[in-house]
Amino acid sequence: MAFSSTDQRLLREIQRDASLSLAQLADRCGMAQSTVWRRMQDFERQGLITARVALLDPSKVGSKLCVLAAITLRDHAEQTVAGFAQLIEGHPEIVECYATSGSADYQLKIRVEDVEAYERFMTHTLLRNEVVRGVHSSFVLKELKSTTELPI
């Protein structure tokens, strides 16, 4: 999808801070407030803007530890994949899930309080689930970059 330079500026600004007022956005983007409002409505109608959220500091809400888990399933039957999707949806600790190529079927990003909490989650939830064959976990030692902004 091609965007005008003013649309690109507007999209970059709302990715950085969706709480900005129409007046602030108009000022930062060099647009009239009515134009900003209309473009925002267009973006929502097109499905380009899918949500407006607040980003929380994981360490301040008890989710300091970030774990990347490579998951292999027992098989790839439709019922197995559906069971895994149900497992993923039922656990807020799993904040991202990607079907991947390579040796693992899925990559999960999991947020928990500490190593002990992850050990409990892995052994009681992931490894005891009938569709999961194996889990390979990597603990994030340092976050060098984390952004929700897409390159526009």
Residue 147: inside a domain: no
Question: How high is the pLDDT of residue 87?
Answer: 97
Question: How high is the pLDDT of residue 1?
Answer: 73
Each residue's pLDDT, cut to its tens digit, for the chain (152 residues) gives: 789 999 999 999 999 999 999 999 999 999 999 999 999 999 999 999 999 999 999 999 999 999 999 999 999 999 999 999 999 999 999 999 999 999 999 999 999 999 999 999 999 999 999 999 999 999 999 999 999 999 99
Half-sphere exposure of residue 33: CA atoms within 13 angstroms, side-chain side? 5
CATH of the domain at 120: 3.30.70.920
List the domain range (segments joined by +) for residue 35. 5-45
Residue 121: inside a domain: yes
What is the DSSP track for 91-146? Answer: -TTEEEEEE-SSS-SEEEEEEESSHHHHHHHIIIIITTSTTEEEEEEEE----S--
The pair of three-digit structure tokens given for residue 55, joined into one six-digit string: 């980003």
Task: Measure the CA–CA gap between 105 and 76, rounded to whole angstroms.
Answer: 9
Same domain (yes/no): 135, 89 = yes
Domain total in the chain: 2
Same domain (yes/no): 11, 35 = yes
Residue 129: inside a domain: yes
Q: What pTM did the predictor assign?
A: 0.89
CATH of the domain at 23: 1.10.10
